[in-house]
Structure 1
Amino acid sequence: MQDPTILILASLADGDKHGYAIMEDIQVFAGIRLGPGTLYGAICRLEQRGWIRAVKFEARRQPYRITAEGSQHLKEQLALLGHVVRTGNRRMREA
């Protein structure tokens, strides 16, 4: 997976997290280790798009929250991925 957008949004779907917690969560649920540069670059882009926002700073860590627009985008992307997976599985069975 080239673009970490869906991974970050999925991580934030169950609650606010700071960067390190997002990295750890993605490692657990996707088996993908994002480097800090990749993560924080993506966080910046997601904030610019309005899909996540920074919330109250706590103990030297900046937590982030998914927005309504981010949740909608995540739902759309998950639906698309579901379709791709179903199509791929069907085609593999037919091959």
Structure 2
Amino acid sequence: MARRTPELGRFTDVALLVLISLAEGQKHGYRMISDIEQFSGTSLEPGTLYGALMRLEERGWIEPVETTERRKPYRITDAGRESLREQLATLRRVEQAGARRAGLAWGAA
């Protein structure tokens, strides 16, 4: 898939789900897991989530929020919002091509 940002590297579904969740506002891990399951139907294991959080933080797409609480919240960065916009644009192109090639018309029963 064509991407304008070269450092995107391998973009995983989990990374996309995390960025979508954090685009709404800062969250800690358990809240992200619940949110992701609610909006996508995808159940993430904590190890899967925290591995994705570590990779996203290394890329500068998310950052931890200072807190005195036990749970560590994260927020999306401007770079993370840009990579999310690029990935969603790519997914829209893929979805449109797939629907066109499969002869699907959205909204038709």
Q: The TM-score by the shorter chain falls in which range?
A: over 0.9
Tell me the residue number matched to 1:44.
54
Are 2:95 and 1:93 aligned? Answer: no
Deviation at 1:56, TM superposition (A): 1.4
Are 2:79 and 1:69 aligned? Answer: yes
Could you say what secondary structure the match of 1:17 adopts? coil
Tell me the residue number matched to 1:22.
32
**Pairing partner for 2:92 from 65, 69, 82:** 82
Tell me the residue number matched to 2:18.
8
Query: In percent, how many aligned pairs have the same letter?
Result: 53
Deviation at 1:3, TM superposition (A): 3.3
Structure 1 letter corresponding to 2:94? V
**CA-to-aligned-CA distance 1:42-84 (integer Å, 9 cap, x gap):** 0000000000000012421100000000000000000000010
Tell me the residue number matched to 1:56.
66
Structure 1 unmatched ranges of 5 or more: none
TM-score, normalised relative to structure 1: 0.93
**CA-to-aligned-CA distance 1:18-40 (integer Å, 9 cap, x gap):** 00000000000000001000000
Number of residues paired by the alignment? 93
Structure 2 letter corresponding to 1:86? Q
